[in-house]
Amino acid sequence: MNEGVQRPAAAAAVLARLIERAGSVVALTGAGISVPSGIPDFRSPGTGLWAKVNPMEVAHIDAFRRDPVRFWSFYGQRFQTLEDKQPNGAHAALVELERVGLLDAVITQNIDRLHARAGTQNLVEVHGSISHSSCLVCGLRYELGDVRARLSEDGEGVPRCDCGQPLKPDVVLFGELLPVAAFAQAEALAAGAGLMLCIGSSLEVYPVAGLPETTLAGGGRIAILTQGPTPFDRRAAVRMGGDVVEELEAVLTELALPSPTAPAPPPGP
């Protein structure tokens, strides 16, 4: 049982050994892993996305149905904010762990596409992605570039389907259920994990916040790397609360893996 945030160097060493010994390692990531890429999280006082706007007014399925113009005035800005953002060292560190066979999958609550852009292969996006939007009437789906073009061309700032109906981003809004297949895959990964890395998540948004409990119930362990408290802190084998990029790069160093920001060494003869 952990009694608080551990010293970074010691925690990195302990976490590296846990990763090496676990039969299956799965990462669960939240908004905090994307903060170093310049994307604000949701709940930090003063800077979080929901500190500036009521999510029930702009990010609820009822808000989309009731007032798509207001909905898209928010989501259009969100799309613009995410457009030029790049994966950071924390995303790259998870790619490196997966590349060498020490990470089975990444389950993410994020919709920003940064894990995919970083190169993660086995990715479960339980809250969907901004990569595409769909028409709730006829079911047609449009890629992000097309959606952006339709948004800029519409007089009301609402990307519309060819049938004339407003498009909805393929992300899980408040008031919607998670995609059944994606969440079932996430639950299976959590149940089989010997170690779950909980990175940048407050672990407060259910049902995803229940995944660490699934791992613990199956006999696995959890490691938490996030700023701010979580309900699972005292049950974590490792608890780190500093810069997520520095912490994950320290774990790579303990595992004798190359930093993802530096070129890999040339192959031997």
Q: What residues are annotated to the active site?
A: 127
Amino acid letter, residue 26: V
CB 171 within 8 A of CB 12: no
Closest among 153, 145, 237 to 193, alpha carbons compared: 237
**What is the helix (H) or strand (E) element at residue 214, kind and residue range?**
helix 211-217
The answer to whether 187 and 17 are in contact (CB under 8 A) is no
Q: Is the peptide bond before 166 cis (omega within 30 degrees of 0)?
A: no
Query: CA–CA separation, 72 vs 36, rounded Å?
Result: 26
Q: Are 68 and 85 in contact (CB under 8 A)?
A: no
Longest dimension (CA), the chain: 65
Burial class of residue 169 in the structure, from the number of CB atoms within 10 Å of its CB (0-12 exposed, 13-18 middle, 19+ buried)? buried
